[in-house]
Amino acid sequence: MKAIIAAAGKGTRMLHLAKDKPKHMIEVLNKPFLFYLLQNLKKGGIDEIILVIGYQKTAMKKFAEDYKNDFNITLVDQFEKFGEEKYGTSVPVEATKDFVEDKTFIAVYGDNLYSPNDIKHLIESENTNYITVLKHEHPKNYGVAITDDKGFLTKIVEKPKEPPSNFINTGLYKFTPEIFEEVARVNVSPRGEYELTDAIQALAKKHKVKVLKLEDYWLDFGKPEDIQKVEEFLKSQK
């Protein structure tokens, strides 16, 4: 199975650390953070990585060359396809349509880390669209998933003041080719971006998205303080 990794963004939350390189290239224990994500995807059963690049693409190309013996990486330049003005979480998926063809695939953001076991579980789940969720003590800071009694997604509520549940969307997905029709229809959101969750909610209205609970972990790599957190976690795993 193939995995799409969205890694075209500037990483503004990483502040000066991402000024001259993508945040995915910031080193953790002497390796780029992206290495650990790819490693876990491979351990979980992913055969090919489709890496969607844009900002500071030269560094991403060097990464692909440096680790070509470790991972099967195909590069897709999001900016070449759509320019820098079309921006948001749906765009990397839309950019990879010709590379995925007509098969189910995994999609993930390049600044998150998941366990091989959870990835494997998602791959082995039934052949339909999935979002993954995790119970969180501060759900109001995230997108909260609402499901029906059969495990289907009904809605994602972004940063609700009064969360309807404690299960947040972790950004690890499995999609059928149906997603491409929906991302092509996505309009600009109030915050000026093309949102992948809009396409997911369109599928959810058709009763075509299921919800899978992660069993192990989810680590975000978005802010400077996350670097030490990820380092300590990786050390604890050895």
Do the Cβ atoms of 77 and 54 come closer than 8 Å?
yes
Give the pLDDT score at 13: 80
In this model, does residue 10 exceed pLDDT 90? Answer: no
Mean pLDDT, range 40-47, rounded to an integer: 98
| DSSP E strands, the chain | 2-6, 27-28, 31-32, 48-53, 73-77, 105-109, 112-114, 129-135, 143-147, 153-158, 167-175, 209-213, 218-220
In this model, does residue 238 exceed pLDDT 80? Answer: no
Question: With respect to CATH, is domain 2-130+171-237 assigned 3.30.70.20?
Answer: no
Pairing mode, strands 209-213 and 129-135: parallel
Q: What is the tens place of the pLDDT at every residue in 188-218?
A: 999 899 999 999 999 999 999 999 999 999 9
In this model, does residue 121 exceed pLDDT 80? Answer: yes
Sign of CA dihedral 79, 82, 87, 91: negative
- All structural domains of the chain with their residue ranges: 2-130+171-237
Q: Which two tokens stand for residue 118?
A: 């959870």
**Nearest alpha carbon to residue 213 among 145, 162, 148, 139:** 145
Comparison of pLDDT for 11 and 74, the residue scoring more = 74
In this model, does residue 14 exceed pLDDT 90? Answer: no
What's the whole-number average pLDDT of the chain?
94
Q: Could you tell me how far CA 100 lies from the centroid of its own chain?
A: 16
Give the pLDDT score at 15: 76
What distance, in Å, lies between the first and last C-alpha atoms of the chain? Answer: 27
Give the pLDDT score at 18: 82
Do the Cβ atoms of 108 and 3 come closer than 8 Å?
yes
In this model, does residue 101 exceed pLDDT 90? Answer: no
Mean pLDDT, range 45-65, rounded to an integer: 96
Q: What is the tens place of the pLDDT at every residue in 20-42?
A: 888 999 999 999 999 999 999 99
